Amino acid sequence: DVKVTQSSRYLVKRTGEKVFLECVQDMDHENMFWYRQDPGLGLRLIYFSYDVKMKEKGDIPEGYSVSREKKERFSLILESASTNQTSMYLCASSSGAVSNQPQHFGDGTRLSIL
C-alpha cells in the first residue's frame, strides 16, 4: 500500500513565522501535490511537481513556495505566515501520467496561524 506521510497532524504558528510542511511518500511516485482544503471551497491546488527539482504553480500559489530535492519528499513553505493561511493542508502523490492515475493522500496537517 502507498504511504504518504505528513510530518505533523496539527501545527500552531504565529503571524510572520516561516513554516515548513513536510511530505514523504514511499512508493517512488513521480508526481507530488500540495492542496489546501477549506469549508465551502473544497480542495485547491497550491503547487505540484512532476520530478525532482521541478515545480509548477497550481491555482493558489501566492504566499507559498515548495522544494523537491529528493523524489520522495515534497516540502511546502509559508515564507511569512498570515492568518488567512489557517487551513487543512493535504499532500498527495501519484505515479506515471497525471491524467489517469489516482492520487494518494496523506492524513493532512491542520495549520493554525495566530
- The residues of the shown chain that bind another protein, judged by CB under 8 A, are 4, 33, 35, 40-45, 59, 90, 97-100, 102-108
Assess contact for 4 and 104: CB atoms under 8 A: yes
Closest CA relative to residue 3, chosen from 109, 83, 79, 106: 106
49-58: which pairs have CB atoms within 8 A and are 24 or more residues apart?
49/74, 50/98, 58/33, 58/34
Give backbone dihedrals phi and psi of 59, rounded to 5 degrees, phi first: -85, -25
- Give the C-alpha separation, 104 to 72, whole Å: 13
Beta carbon of residue 37, minimum distance to another protein (angstroms, whole number)? 9
Closest CA relative to residue 72, chosen from 21, 31, 20: 31
Beta carbon of residue 90, minimum distance to another protein (angstroms, whole number)? 7
Q: Is the CB of 16 or the CB of 98 nearer to another protein?
A: 98
Beta carbon of residue 35, minimum distance to another protein (angstroms, whole number)? 8
Beta carbon of residue 105, minimum distance to another protein (angstroms, whole number)? 4
